[in-house]
């Protein structure tokens, strides 16, 4: 029996799994059923799966994997060793860096939710002409949506990891090595710092700034910018976690406290004038 001792078993295990995964990667080449525009560039070491559509001006780098039924719109760039799983849609002019992974069903570069009200009480669509930039070593979970910028870019910075079913709105900026759990929604133009950890089902309103190293517990609501680096927040609206826990103790007893206050009020003697 062989025993291998390592300092970090989970990290070592993940590296072994990566080696195994490399053994099962598809062969280089373009499947006959894929459509590749004549102006697109696909490196000879890359693989393109069946029924994939690669439009004009697309660039696919060395050792990249484009799986079945992926759409890469005009001008998209896919960096070396990136893996794009089945049914992913990447909109025009979006950039995906090196060694990224996009899980099935994700949409990168759809229009943001922008509408201008008019005098007729209807809405004029605001066309979004920016793009999305995924820097190197980014992972995007299944069915996550990242909207393109109205103008400029929506940016997911180096090493960030986004879970499944996340909504990132137009012109957001997600910092390096930040991790975000499933079903979180981030409204437009919010900037999240590096090394943050955001739990599942968190809601963050638009045009906020979240400092580096902030941790937000699941189902919290963020309605104001967080300027304190490393703050751990919980609740809706989110509070520093110690304050939230102390407040929650009292919140659970509000009914009893109200009864006590009412009883004390009845027992108070009326104060005599003069």
Domains and CATH numbers, the chain: 88-261 (2.160.10.10)
Q: Give the residue-averaged pLDDT of 194-219.
A: 98
Q: Give the residue-averaged pLDDT of 70-82.
A: 99
**Chain-centroid distance, C-alpha 81:** 21
Catalytic residue among 31, 85, 170, 207: 170
Please indicate whether residue 170 is annotated as part of the active site: yes
Query: What is 24-62 written as a DSSP string?
Result: TPPPSEE-TT-EE-TT-EE-TT-EE-TT-EE-TT-EE-T
| Amino acid 243: pLDDT | 85
| Amino acid 273: pLDDT | 56
| Amino acid 43: pLDDT | 99
**Residues forming a β-bridge with 90:** 72, 108
Q: In this predicted structure, which of 17-26, 43-52, 87-96, 215-224 has the lowest mean pLDDT?
A: 17-26
Single pTM value for the model: 0.87
Residue 239 in this model has a pLDDT that exceeds 90: no
What is the sign, positive or negative, of the torsion defined by CA atoms of 164, 156, 187, 214?
positive
| Amino acid 270: pLDDT | 65
51: Cβ–Cβ under 8 A, 6 or more apart, which residues?
31, 33, 34, 68, 69
């Amino acid at each position: 029996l062989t025993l291998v001792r390592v300092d970090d078993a989970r990290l070592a295990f993940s590296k072994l799994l990566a080696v195994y995964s490399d053994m099962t990667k598809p062969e280089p080449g373009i499947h006959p059923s894929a459509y590749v525009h004549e102006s697109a560039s696909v490196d000879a070491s890359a693989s393109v799966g069946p029924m994939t559509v690669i439009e004009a001006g697309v660039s696919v780098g060395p050792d990249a994997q484009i799986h079945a039924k992926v759409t890469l719109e005009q001008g998209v760039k896919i960096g070396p060793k990136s893996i794009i799983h089945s049914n992913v849609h990447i909109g025009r002019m979006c950039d995906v860096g090196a060694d990224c992974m996009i899980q099935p069903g994700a949409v990168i570069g759809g229009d943001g939710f922008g509408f201008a009200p008019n005098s007729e009480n209807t809405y004029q669509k605001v066309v979004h002409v920016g793009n999305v930039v995924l820097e190197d070593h980014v992972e995007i979970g299944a069915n996550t949506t990242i909207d393109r910028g109205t103008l400029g870019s929506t940016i997911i910075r180096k090493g960030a990891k986004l879970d499944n079913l996340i909504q990132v709105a137009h012109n957001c900026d997600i910092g390096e090595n930040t991790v975000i759990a499933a079903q979180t929604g981030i409204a437009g133009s919010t900037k999240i710092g590096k090394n943050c950890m955001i739990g599942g089902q968190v809601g963050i309103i638009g045009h906020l700034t979240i400092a580096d190293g902030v941790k937000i517990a699941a189902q919290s609501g963020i309605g104001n910018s967080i300027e304190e680096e490393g703050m751990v927040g919980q609740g809706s609206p989110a509070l520093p976690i110690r304050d939230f826990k102390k407040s929650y103790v009292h919140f659970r007893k509000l009914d009893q406290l109200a009864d006590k206050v009412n009883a004390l009020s009845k027992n108070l003697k009326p104060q005599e004038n003069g």
